[in-house]
Structure 1
Amino acid sequence: MKIKNIKNVIFTGGGLKGWAYIGTIQALEELIDFEYLENVIGVSIGSAFGLFYLLGISHEYLLELVMNLNYRDLIDTQLDKILINESIMAGKKFKNFIKEIISTKIDPDITFLELYKFSKIVYTVNALNIDLYKIDYFNYKNTPNVKVIDSIVASCSIPMIFPPYKINEYHYYDGGLCNNCPLNLTDELNTIAFDVNTEMNTGNIKLFNLIYSFVYITNDYYNKSNDSNVVFQILDNRFKDQAFNLNQSKDDIFNIYMNGYINSRNIIYNNFIALK
């Protein structure tokens, strides 16, 4: 029998460590009664996988897709326009990749209001509004007419890697920069938050280390006043350098997925089933 007391699910950001969420989706499929779900909240890459889970896109489909993924198909470098566009990549290929996955279930240009009418689940994405210096939360209540895909791209727009993403008159960067786990949006009693961030990344690319420094410092300060026992790390420390590893092998991807599955399943069982 599947458990019914998880109503809110949060997927945090974490770059290419997000493949672990394929395993999380598998664990949720096996253990959680989807009919009782009320909120899905996603940040950065977690916003994409949160939507995939909400739409019922299977872990089998996602795993096969990423195991056959060529990262070069997602990279649209624009070295001649770095100063103009403020980024290394344009981000259009990434957007199209996410839209192709969404299109297996619904119109990839669906709005938040249309998504809520379709699913009856509140889907929320955050992104950093760099014009108003604040975090914006996209959902059917706050932004009913905004396209869901636009909020996902905005929330995944890592500074210097992707350009700031424009929605209406405002420009946005990665939601994980300031609030990578928005527990402020939920009742923690019936909430589980999955986190793919382990200890501080210490890769060889200093640009990525700089970005992660901002993320960790800002979120560490924010989370000190929001201590919670519903946030669970689903990846072992051995994967700490995988967030921006564009040289991931198929074995790397599979191991990240499997580690995410095993840990997610154990977390759900130990904290929501075994305690009953």
Structure 2
Amino acid sequence: MIYSVFVYKEHYLVKIGLALGAGGARGLAHIKILEAFDELNIKPSIISGSSIGAIIGAAYASGMTAKEIKLKVDTLINTRESKAWEFYKNSDIKLLFNFIDFNMNGGGIIKGDKFKKFMENEIKVDTFEDLQIPLKIVATHYWKKSQRIFTNGNLIPAITASYSLPGLFSPTVINNELYFDGGMVNPVPFDIINENCDYVIAVDVSANKFPKSKKIPSFYENIFSAFQIMQNSILSEKLSNSKPDLLIKIKVKNVRMLDFTKTAEIFEQAEEAKKELKIKLKKMMKD
């Protein structure tokens, strides 16, 4: 039996909302959170996602299990057949060009068309209306400097808008409007589902920075760290005004924003959060 709601309270069913935050490679930890739901045969009533959270959330809302999503990630990144793995191990530049489409016309280093095609092949749902679980995706409207919440229409463009990290990816164009990464305005979008459920669980996978030495960080580390500092500041401000019913802070150490080859480390570090969530969910179901 699958529960779309998980606990009775004052004679009505309490609906759960799940907000999956931004965080680059660390966002793969969301899969372990989804495993907790699957292992208890529970389904959220609604999901919201920003950046990597939008990708994982959309895959899950389409009907894929956490196990299936994890298998896709392992196949894409960590197997010997993976182009990303072969490049990482053998530094074969030709394999990189097979997987990533560099952009020579400005807007970002990567156009993102090839990864978009990959998502279309793997998330076999065309529109929000076709999803098995309602989904809200956050992106940043470039000109309005504000968040845009996608809830209907074509699914894949909304996902690409949500993970289009400025400088790395070209902006996503939807109806002649430019959109960038949702983490710029709402890194953990728990607030946009408050009205749609009775109990909100928010998952924060933002970076934990620890000084390793007195050495000045590299250009690469400076750029992405600045983005992460901005996200942490936005989230802290949000939490000072309102809080989700349960905030899960997954402490993933020594994993940078683009360290997608560290899946084993990410999953291992997220295991404790998964166990704690299962305990809390079981208690909720009994209360």
TM-score of the pair, normalised by structure 1:
0.80
Structure 1 runs not aligned, ≥5 long: 141-145
Q: State yes or no: 1:28 paired with 2:37.
A: yes
Structure 1 residue 65: deviation in Å?
A: 2.6
Superposition map of 1:101-250 within 5 A: 101-103=122-124, 106=125, 110-112=126-128, 114-115=129-130, 119=132, 121-140=133-152, 146-187=153-194, 189-200=198-209, 204=218, 205=220, 206-234=222-250, 236-239=251-254, 241-245=255-259, 248=261
The answer as to 2:76 corresponding to 1:76 is no
Q: Which residue of 1 aligns with 2:10?
A: none
Equivalent position of 1:95 in the other structure: 116
Q: Distance in 2 between matches of 1:62 and 1:150?
A: 20
Scaled by the length of structure 2, the TM-score of the pair is: 0.77
How far the C-alpha of 1:272 sits from its partner, in A, is 3.0
SS at match of 1:96: helix
Q: How far is the alpha carbon of 1:253 from its aligned partner?
A: 0.8
Q: Is the 8 A contact 2:184 2:231 kept in 1?
A: yes
Residues 137, 201 of structure 1: alpha-carbon distance in 2 compared, 3 angstrom cutoff: farther
Q: For the pair shown, which has the larger CA radius of gyration, 1 or 2?
A: 2
Deviations 1:100-131 (A, max 9, x none): 2112xx4xxx122x32xx52x32110111012
**For each residue in 1:148-173, what CA deviation from the matched residue of structure 2 results, as whole angstroms up to 9, or x when unmatched?**
10000000000000111111121101
Distance of aligned partners of 1:198 and 1:31 in 2 relative to their CA distance in 1, 3 Å threshold: farther
How many residues are aligned here? 249
The answer for unaligned runs of 5 or more in structure 2 is 8-14, 78-82, 85-95, 212-216
- The amino acid of 1:129's aligned partner reads H
Counterparts of 1:97 and 1:223, CA distance in 2:
35
Aligned AA (2:208): E
Specify which structure has the higher proportion of strand: 2
The alpha-carbon distance between structure 1 residues 74 and 231, as it changes in their structure 2 partners (threshold 3 A), is farther
Matched residue SS, 1:9: strand
